Structure 1
Amino acid sequence: MSTQAVLFDVPGPKARLRHRILTAVGVVLVVAIAYVIYLQFEKAGQLKAFMWEPFVTDPEVWTSYLIPGLKGTFTAAAISIVLAVVFGLLFGMGRLSPFAPLRWFCSVIVEFFRSVPVLLMMVFAYFGYFATSDIVPNQHAPLAAVVTALTLYNGAVIAELVRSGVHGLPAGQSEAGLAVGLTPGQVLRSIQLPQALTAMLPALVGQLVVVLKDSALGYGITYLELLNWSKTLGSAYANTVPAYIVAGILFILVNYTLTKFAVYLEGRMKKRRAKA
């Protein structure tokens, strides 16, 4: 019997019919909403051919606006996810420490940064520190603020992933390590942490999707990422709505690719565990 069969009853004929009806109603509602949006865009003249032609006929739309925007988004996301993994590993291990003061300190830090909105951290980091100090050049202050906020928030999330991943391992593994003379710290570093990281790899890739999406919040502190460049593009070509739509499509394509990669990784790891 599969896990799904244990957790959920198999739907009967009436339940399946009800699901089909609800699905059909949902599809009709989505189509209706999409049609209303289409009519509004058509009424406002946002779907006229000349509004969309620059994306096909003018290379500068891509070379001067959209590609630099993607570069800014990827730069902030790449730096942030690397630093967030380091932050998450350190504070995740700290939350698992047998030394109570260290464990409490790491728990407070993690819970604090998980609770503060990312945009608020960006604003504080930018206006409260980087924009008024010489620690980074002025032109890099928005990037530094975006990276700081994304690192702190996503690092706190990864720290919780590390903690829950280690707690999800069989207790016999740590007991066996202690039985052969390893210290709790050695057991964590050499036995538990490698397995937890392997198990949480799909979740880490999924967190990268969150980082990419949240990088758009840098718009609020003038960081030149995809959303900000799309605004500039819309002003230059008088097609603001099409510019934002194209930016949204690019975000969807990138995040969908990462999501599918996370699903692929999860499937590979399930097969590997099944063979083991």
Structure 2
Amino acid sequence: MSQPNAVLFDELGPRGRRRVRTLTVVSAVVLVLVLVLAVVRLAQNGQFAYDLWAPLVDPTTEEFPLVWQRLGRGLLWTLAVAAVAMAGSLVIGVGIAVARLSLGRYGRLPLVAVVELFRGLPVVVTILYVSIALPVLGVDLSDNWFLAIGLIVYNCVVISEIVRAGVLAVPHGQVEAGQAVGLRPSQVMRSIQLPQAFRSMLPAIISQLVVILKDTALGAVVLNGVTELTRQGQQLRNFFDNALQTFFVVAVIYVVVNILLGKAAEVLERRLSRSRTASASAVAEDEESVRV
């Protein structure tokens, strides 16, 4: 029999729980064996040699300060490009979503075409196309700007779809209530629909912002002049001939930054939830005082 808290599936019985525990143990053992095998093979190939790791982890070496200076500069450029891409994607994405919802059936067709076009392109192709098309049009920028613009072009349409879905999920009764008190459609959108859409779609938006941060690494694949973290790692790899070690450290940096971004998103979401709860409580108290 289903338990009250079982939403998507029935509660497992004794046999099902035993099967899950068995599969969990087997999977953990297989994973540990694979990791041990990988460590052994790496050791046999000399990948744990001190000379390969020393420039990255030993502060007493002469190269250590220079290596982390390069990695730090790359991280700053990564954060700067990601911040520009995030801000541009949010602003343009919200604008596209609002325009698409506000225009008529035929007036929104150009926007629909643009959204479907850039959603269908791989982000690497978008970055490469921006870096080729803008110079042809007479726009002379650095590769870091081409990377930021390419990320904006791709991610703004994705964010526009997230925001549009959030706006459409707002109960229509609230829209009708806003119109009943004399609000114009633009005021209803700005004061009622968008705030609620952002609250409900915040996890999806944050996930897309994390994707933007990770996608900055694609600049090192298609652009030679970028100075972000992955490009710095490539240059260090070429100099020290320690690709596995260098990119292990680069990967750890990306993971730490993304974890911090996720924690910041959790804090923001909790604050928004508390403010929403406090507002609902205040409204309830006002209504109770009016009835009294």
Common fold by TM > 0.5: yes
Measured against aligned partners, the alpha-carbon deviations of 1:178-202 in whole angstroms (never above 9, x if no partner) come to: 1222232221122211221233233
Number of the residue aligned with 1:200: 201
Once residues 13 and 264 of structure 1 are traced to their aligned partners in structure 2, the CA distance between those partners, rounded to angstroms, is 38
Number of the residue aligned with 1:8: 9
Once residues 7 and 252 of structure 2 are traced to their aligned partners in structure 1, the CA distance between those partners, rounded to angstroms, is 39
Report the alpha carbon displacement of residue 166 of structure 1 after superposing the two structures with TM: 0.9
Once residues 3 and 186 of structure 2 are traced to their aligned partners in structure 1, the CA distance between those partners, rounded to angstroms, is 37
Number of the residue aligned with 1:228: 231
Match of 2:252 among 240, 249, 253: 249
Once residues 105 and 35 of structure 1 are traced to their aligned partners in structure 2, the CA distance between those partners, rounded to angstroms, is 55
AA partner of residue 12 (structure 1): G
Report the alpha carbon displacement of residue 158 of structure 1 after superposing the two structures with TM: 1.0
1:53 aligns to what SS in structure 2? helix
Once residues 26 and 67 of structure 1 are traced to their aligned partners in structure 2, the CA distance between those partners, rounded to angstroms, is 38
> Does 1:62 pair with 2:65?
no
Which aligned pairs between 1:71-90 and structure 2 lie closer than 5 A?
Answer: 71-90=76-95
Measured against aligned partners, the alpha-carbon deviations of 1:36-56 in whole angstroms (never above 9, x if no partner) come to: 322332222121122111122
Cα distance, 1:77–1:2 mapped onto 2, change above 3 Å: farther
Report the alpha carbon displacement of residue 2 of structure 1 after superposing the two structures with TM: 9.1
Give the percent of matched residue pairs that are identical in Structure 1 and Structure 2. Answer: 37
- Matched-pair contact (CA < 8 Å) for 1:73–1:212: yes
Measured against aligned partners, the alpha-carbon deviations of 1:170-228 in whole angstroms (never above 9, x if no partner) come to: 11110011122223222112221122123323332222210111111001212221111
Report the alpha carbon displacement of residue 231 of structure 1 after superposing the two structures with TM: 1.2
- Matched-pair contact (CA < 8 Å) for 2:134–2:140: no
Greater relative contact order (Cα 8 A, min sep 6): structure 1 or 2?
1
1:6 aligns to what SS in structure 2? coil
- Matched-pair contact (CA < 8 Å) for 2:96–2:160: yes
How many correspondences in the alignment?
A: 271
Number of the residue aligned with 1:161: 162
TM-score (norm 2): 0.85
Report the alpha carbon displacement of residue 4 of structure 1 after superposing the two structures with TM: 4.7
TM-score (norm 1): 0.89
Once residues 264 and 31 of structure 2 are traced to their aligned partners in structure 1, the CA distance between those partners, rounded to angstroms, is 27
Cα distance, 1:19–1:53 mapped onto 2, change above 3 Å: same
- Matched-pair contact (CA < 8 Å) for 1:206–1:258: no
Q: Which has the larger radius of gyration?
A: 2
Query: Which consecutive unaligned segments of at least 5 residues does structure 2 have?
Result: 281-292
- Matched-pair contact (CA < 8 Å) for 1:81–1:208: yes
Number of the residue aligned with 2:185: 184
Number of the residue aligned with 2:126: 121
Cα distance, 1:261–1:22 mapped onto 2, change above 3 Å: farther
Number of the residue aligned with 1:51: 52
Number of the residue aligned with 2:26: 25
Match of 1:106 among 108, 111, 122: 111
Number of the residue aligned with 2:213: 212
Match of 1:136 among 136, 140, 151: 140
Query: Which consecutive unaligned segments of at least 5 residues does structure 1 have?
Result: none
- Matched-pair contact (CA < 8 Å) for 1:54–1:61: yes
- Matched-pair contact (CA < 8 Å) for 1:209–1:255: yes
Once residues 31 and 68 of structure 1 are traced to their aligned partners in structure 2, the CA distance between those partners, rounded to angstroms, is 36
Cα distance, 1:3–1:206 mapped onto 2, change above 3 Å: farther
